[in-house]
Amino acid sequence: MICEHCGAPVNINEVTGIAKCEYCGTVLDISGHKIDFQKVVSLLERIRYFRNKGIVKQVRPSIVNGNIIFPDEYVYDGKPSYLCIKCKRKFNLDKVVKHMFSGHPELLDSKDTTPYFRKHPELIFYLETFVQGLESLENDLKELHKMQERREANLVNSEKETVKQIAGYAFNTVSSSFLRFFWKVFLFLFIFALISGGVVFLLIFLLKRF
């Protein structure tokens, strides 16, 4: 993260969400910070519109002595450097986009946007890369959310299936118990009927004899 006051890197305490600048000592509370994806994407669409209309052009960099060199750039100590049109600070090429989004995002929405990107067309490439990273992150978060929803749905279905299995087992157990009970009652009544019938038949036989 870049300090929005001086552009220097800051250290972030992941526990408290507090960022402190190593250069000017500015303390920033980023615990509730959120990136406005829609604003960034709309800015990119505006820049692409300028490029398609020929107002700005995207150029391919060339590599000289291991350094990426763009046309019409100001090189200081062998590193690309740019001047912020709002605060007039100079930044290396790898920090300029971070400065624009963390310190002065209104640069992209000011009247100087068009000439700024005409003078530094390579920033379109960095901005597109930045937005693609945000879109990729957003897609990853959406996929993670979908996976969580599927997991919760599978868990609910699993719980329902477990309840069904328990209910089925209980029903089968109760049914088996009732069947065994009725079978025993039937056997008891059948045997009782046989014995009773035998006794009655014997009594009738004896009465006829005597």
Whole-number pLDDT of residue 74: 37
150 versus 55: which is more confidently predicted? 150
Whole-number pLDDT of residue 49: 59
Tell me the pTM.
Answer: 0.25
Residue 162: band (very low, low, confident or very high) from pLDDT cuts 50, 70, 90: confident
Say if CB 30 and CB 17 are below 8 A apart.
yes
Q: Is residue 182 part of a domain?
A: no
**Residue 58 φ then ψ, to 5°:** -90, 130
Residue 36 to residue 40: CA distance in whole angstroms: 7
Query: Both 74 and 132 in a single domain?
Result: yes
Query: Both 86 and 154 in a single domain?
Result: yes
Query: Both 57 and 130 in a single domain?
Result: yes
Q: Is residue 79 part of a domain?
A: yes
Expressed as residue numbers, the domain containing 150 is 35-174
* Range scoring the smallest mean pLDDT among 53-62, 126-135, 179-188: 53-62
101 versus 136: which is more confidently predicted? 136
Whole-number pLDDT of residue 157: 81
Mean confidence (pLDDT) of the chain: 62
Whole-number pLDDT of residue 47: 56
Q: Is residue 184 part of a domain?
A: no
Q: What is the mean pLDDT of residues 118-135?
A: 60
Q: Is residue 206 part of a domain?
A: no
**Residue 202 φ then ψ, to 5°:** -65, -40
Residue 174 to residue 181: CA distance in whole angstroms: 10
Query: Both 61 and 165 in a single domain?
Result: yes
Q: Is residue 19 part of a domain?
A: yes
Query: Both 76 and 24 in a single domain?
Result: no
Query: Both 3 and 102 in a single domain?
Result: no
Residue 173 to residue 170: CA distance in whole angstroms: 5
Q: Is residue 20 part of a domain?
A: yes
Largest CA distance in the chain: 141
95 versus 190: which is more confidently predicted? 190
Give pLDDT tens digits for 33-85. 554 555 555 656 665 655 555 444 444 444 555 555 443 343 334 444 555 54
